Amino acid sequence: MADNITLNSGSGGSTLRTDDDGSAHWQYTKLAFGADNTQTIVGSISSNPLPVALSATDNAVLDTINTAVELIDDAIYVDDADWTDSTSKHMLIGGVYQSSPQTITSGDVGPLQVTANGYAIVSVNGTVTVGSHAVTNAGTFAVQVDGSALTALQLIDDAIYVDDADWTDSTSKHMLIGGVYQSSPQTITSGDVGPLQVTANGYAIVSVNGTVTVGSHAVTNAGTFAVQSTLEANSGTDIGDVDVLSIVAGTGATNLGKAEDASHSSGDTGVMSLSVRKNTAAATSGADGDYQPLITDTNGRLHVNDVNTAAAISGSELQVDVVASLPAGTNAIGKLAANSGVDIGDVDVTSIVAGTGATNLGKAEDAQHSTGDTGVMSLSVRKNTAAATSGTDGDYQPLITDTNGRLHVNDVSTTAALSGSELQVDIVASLPAGTNGIGKLTSNSGTDIGDVDILSIVAGVGATNLGKAVDSAAGGTDTGVAMLAVRDDEKAALVADGDYIVPRADRFGALRTTQLPDATSAIKYAKIDAASSGDNTLVAAAGGGIKIRVLSAFMISAGAVTARFEDGGGGTAMTGQMSLVANSGFVLPFNPGGWFEGSDNTLLNLELSAGVSVDGSISYVEV
C-alpha cells in the first residue's frame, strides 16, 4: 500500500497526500475558517485555534470541570512548599475497611486500610520513637524508682479509686484540680482539648445542658417579675399592684354581668347603681354628649326632667283646659231655676259609692282601661321630708309632695309654675255650662234624694272631704281618692292622639314614663351589613310625614375605609367622614334626643369610600 497520489501523472502533476488503508486513499486536508472570500488556516492551540460554539449547557459543564480542576490543583504542592493555616487547601483522603484485608502484589496499587471506626491501619517499619506523654496506671509496669520518687508515686496512687470504691472522710485522698481564668475565653473546636474555665474568683464556669431543678426556697418580691397569664390560687395573699387591662364580666348568676333580656332570679349578683348628690340640678360633665352620673337631691330623690308637662307651663303658671261638659243626669229631682253665677250654699256630700263603671269616678283594681273612662284628679299630702303616711306595708296612703307642692319624684318641669309656696294655675278657657239647673237646696244630710247629676263640686277641705286645702297638714284618718293606673305590659297605644288617658304601669306596678314624647313608633332596630363602595341603604324611607332619628349605633370595619351617615342615597351628610382601620370601630350609646335625624320620607344611607365589609347595628325611632 502506497500513500499519496500524483495528480495528472502523465504530465507530471502535483502530488496529493493521502493515506492508503488498502481499500482506498483517504485524502489529508487542512482546516480553514472565515467569512466569504477569506480564509484563516487552523493552527496550534495558541495560534489560530479552531473556534467551536458550545451550548449554554456545554459551557456550564466545562465551567464546573474547570472549577473542579482548579480546586484539585490548589491541593497539590511542590516539594517543601509552606502550609498556611485557614488559607492553604488539602484533599480529604479515605480508606477501605475489610474484615479480611486483601493481599497486594508487589508493584500493584491498593486502597489504604482502615478499622471499622475509620482509624488508619499502619505497619511500622523500624523503630517508633514515642515523645513525652502521660502514662496511666492501667496494666503492669516495672518501675525502677526508690526514695522520694517512690513516695510521690505512691501518693498519686492513693488518689486513684476503682469503680464504686467508697470514700472515707478524713482518710480518703483526692487530687486538687484547677482551671484557667480568661477575660476573653478561647474558642475550642469540636474534638479539641482545652482547660476548664473559672471566674476571676476561681468559681468553675459551667454550661447547663437541659433543665436545672431548683429546690424549695424563699423568694422575695424584689426586682421585676414577668407575670404569667394564669396564676395559682392566692386568696388572701398580697401580690402587689396589678394593672387589669380588661375584664370579661360573665353573665352567670354570680357574675357581675347579665345578658340582655335574661330573666331575674332571686339571689343574683349585681352592682348597686350610685348617684351624685346635687341639691340643685346642675350639669356634672363638660359638654353635651359627655358621660355623667345620675344626680339626686338632699333626700336621695332622683332628679328627672318630665318633658311631657313642659309644654303645659306658661311663665309661672300651669295651663289647664277643661274640654268637655260635665254629664247631665237622667232623673229629675225637681225643677230649679237657672243658677249660673248664683251661690246655692254649702252642700255636704257625706258618702259616695263611687262605682266602677266607665262613667263612675271609681275604677276596680286590675280592670281594663277603655276610651272615655271618667276619673278624678289626684291630690297629695305635703311632706317636707319624704316619709310614710300609713301604718304599715299594704295600707292606702296619699301621694306626698314637698314644701313647694312638688310630687316626691322631684319633677323639675313644674318648678317654673311655683310662686313662693303656691302652684300658679291659669284656667285659660271657660268651664262648660251644664244643661240642668238645681237651684237652692236645703240641708239634706242623711236623706236619699235619688240619683243626682253633680255638675260641679266644692270638694271641701276637711279630714272626711275629698278635697284638701293647700298647705294643710295631713291627718292619720284623712279621706282621699286612690290614684289608679292601667297595667300595660306591651306599651300599646290605648287612645287616639289628643284623648284623655289614665297613667300606665308595668307588671311590677312601676309608672311608665317616656324619654321619646315625639316618637311615632316604638324603638326599632336595623343591622349594618355594608360592603359596597358608595351608597348602602340601612333603613328604607318610612313614608310621608315620617323622619328617621338614630338613637344608638355601633360599627366595626374589616379593613381601612372611611364611612359617613347620609340623609338619602348620595344625600346630605349627617356625620363627617369617619376613618376606620382593620378590625376597628366605634359605639354611639343610647341618646334619647338622637345622634342625628333625617328629613321627611327619606332613607338612611351609609356611604363607604371602598368595597370593605362594615358591620354593626343601629336603634332608631320614627318621628
Residue 623 amino acid letter: V
pLDDT, mean over the chain:
78
The residue that leads in pLDDT, 269 or 500, is 269
Identify the CA nearest to 585 among candidates 620, 612, 604: 612
The residue that leads in pLDDT, 115 or 66, is 115
Q: What are phi and psi of 104, to 5 degrees?
A: -105, 130
How far is it, in rounded angstroms, from Cα 137 to Cα 36? 91
Percent of the chain with pLDDT over 90: 16
Q: What is the mean pLDDT of residues 303-329?
A: 71
Partnered with residue 587 across adjacent β-strands are: 554
Alpha-carbon distance values, 334 to 340, 348, 374, 449 (Å): 17, 19, 26, 10
How far is it, in rounded angstroms, from Cα 596 to Cα 291? 18
What's the pLDDT at 219? 65
What's the pLDDT at 322? 66
Longest Cα–Cα distance of the chain, Å, equals 189
Task: Name residues whose C-beta falls within 8 Å of residue 531's C-beta, 6 or more positions apart in sequence.
Answer: 608, 611, 612, 613, 614
How far is it, in rounded angstroms, from Cα 403 to Cα 389? 16
DSSP 32-82: EE-STT--EE---SSSSPPP-PPPHHHHHHHHHHHHHHHHHHHT---TT--
pLDDT of 606 > 90? The answer is yes
How far is it, in rounded angstroms, from Cα 194 to Cα 216? 36
Q: What is the mean pLDDT of residues 471-482?
A: 81
Q: What is the mean pLDDT of residues 96-122?
A: 80
pTM above 0.85, yes or no: no
- Tell me the CA end-to-end span of the chain in Å, nearest whole number: 127
> Alpha-carbon torsion 224, 226, 229, 232, what sign?
negative
The pLDDT-based confidence of 277 (bands split at 50, 70, 90) is: very high
3 state DSSP class of 147: helix
Among the residue ranges 77-86, 111-120, 152-161, the one predicted with the least confidence is 152-161
The pLDDT-based confidence of 333 (bands split at 50, 70, 90) is: very low
Q: What is the pLDDT of residues 517-534, one digit of tens each?
A: 777 788 899 999 999 999
Partnered with residue 401 across adjacent β-strands are: 382, 407
The three three-digit cell numbers of residue 430, written as one number: 271657660
DSSP 153-202: HHHHHHT---TT----TTTS-------B--SS-----TT---PPBB-TT-
Residue 96 amino acid letter: V
Q: DSSP assignment, residue 127?
A: -
Q: What is the mean pLDDT of residues 81-109?
A: 78
pLDDT of 340 > 60? The answer is no
Q: What is the mean pLDDT of residues 432-440?
A: 51
The three three-digit cell numbers of residue 373, written as one number: 273612662
3 state DSSP class of 309: helix
Identify the CA nearest to 566 among candidates 604, 596, 518: 604
Identify the CA nearest to 617 among candidates 517, 539, 502, 532: 539
The answer to whether the CB of 486 falls within 8 A of the CB of 589 is no
pLDDT of 583 > 60? The answer is yes
Task: Name residues whose C-beta falls within 8 Å of residue 486's C-beta, 6 or more positions apart in sequence.
Answer: 368, 369, 494, 502, 503, 504, 505
How far is it, in rounded angstroms, from Cα 553 to Cα 539? 13
What's the pLDDT at 436? 46
What's the pLDDT at 53? 73
What's the pLDDT at 394? 80
pLDDT of 439 > 50? The answer is no
How far is it, in rounded angstroms, from Cα 22 to Cα 24? 6
Q: What angle do CA 53, 56, 60 make, to 5 degrees?
A: 110
Q: Which CATH fold topology does 524-622 show?
A: Jelly Rolls (2.60.120)
463 dihedral zone (left: phi>0; alpha: psi -120 to 50; beta): alpha
Among the residue ranges 333-347, 408-422, 605-619, the one predicted with the least confidence is 333-347
Task: Name residues whose C-beta falls within 8 Å of residue 258's C-beta, 6 or more positions apart in sequence.
Answer: 251, 268, 270
Residue intervals in the chain for CATH 2.60.120: 524-622
DSSP 442-474: PP-TT--------S------STTSS---TTPPP
The answer to whether the CB of 299 falls within 8 A of the CB of 279 is no
What's the pLDDT at 33? 80
The pLDDT-based confidence of 23 (bands split at 50, 70, 90) is: confident
Q: What are phi and psi of 55, to 5 degrees?
A: -75, 165
Q: What angle do CA 308, 491, 368 make, to 5 degrees?
A: 105
The answer to whether the CB of 612 falls within 8 A of the CB of 558 is yes
How far is it, in rounded angstroms, from Cα 96 to Cα 476? 124
Q: DSSP assignment, residue 310?
A: H
Q: What is the pLDDT of residues 124-151, one digit of tens each?
A: 777 777 777 666 666 655 555 566 666 7
How far is it, in rounded angstroms, from Cα 136 to Cα 139? 8
